Amino acid sequence: MQRHHYKFKMRKKIKQLILVCFLLVVVISAYFAIPKYLGASIYPLSYQNEIIASSKEFSVDPNFIAAVILTESRFRPDAHSGVGAIGLMQIMPATGAGIAKQLGDKDFTTSKLYEPARNIRYGTYYLKQQLDKYGGNESLVLMHYNGGPRAVNSYRTRGVLPRETQGFVRKVTGSKNMYETIYGEWWKPKEKFIPLDDPSQKPTLNVREFWRALIAPKGGW
């Protein structure tokens, strides 16, 4: 009787151990799989070469550019807002025409704002103008980018921002922090003499930092 009871207890412990091991495997798999499959969905990073080219040309942080694109269009080059803003970085036609003139692009037409390389270049140039104007203060730059100079003046004089602009600043700032955390300096080639469009140069998501940033995100502006 005691022997039978002992075997029963052993079988129960073995089942419990198997269950614990199974759950452990599931948890470990999820730890690595979720960032891999969901990280790129939550914080996608497309048009890397175009971002890098504009970043180098105008000396603007690539993660800052990527965060603006994510917030404005989620990397959809055909994005079009209700007020007429176009493309990846949601540039207004009049603003695009002005930038084209400043950059000496004589072939500009409104429809060309749908071109990823051109849209990113114009958007980055505009960010650079504002960074120079506001002494590198990214929060003020984002206020201007979304709400124009009136939003910046309102914030500076009364400490008040339109709700949309306030949300925009927080989203872009938070997204930039996440890009810095999970991708790091993704624009730097891993080895010399390897083309940037080589598959081995795809940004690597840092699993541990992804979870850390998701659980305890950095604050906004």
Residues annotated as catalytic (active site), given as ranges? 72
Q: Give residues with Cβ within 8 angstroms of 173, minimum separation 6.
A: 67, 138, 139, 142, 220, 221
Tokens of 192: 């010399």
Side chain identity at residue 136, one-letter code: G
In the block, tokens 């073995």 appear at 14
Q: Do residues 125 and 58 make contact, with C-beta atoms less than 8 angstroms apart?
A: yes
Q: Give residues with Cβ within 8 angstroms of 141, minimum separation 6.
A: 127, 130, 131, 134
C-alpha 162/C-alpha 87 separation (Å) is 23
Cα angle, residue 189 at apex, residues 186 and 195 outer, rounded to 5°: 120
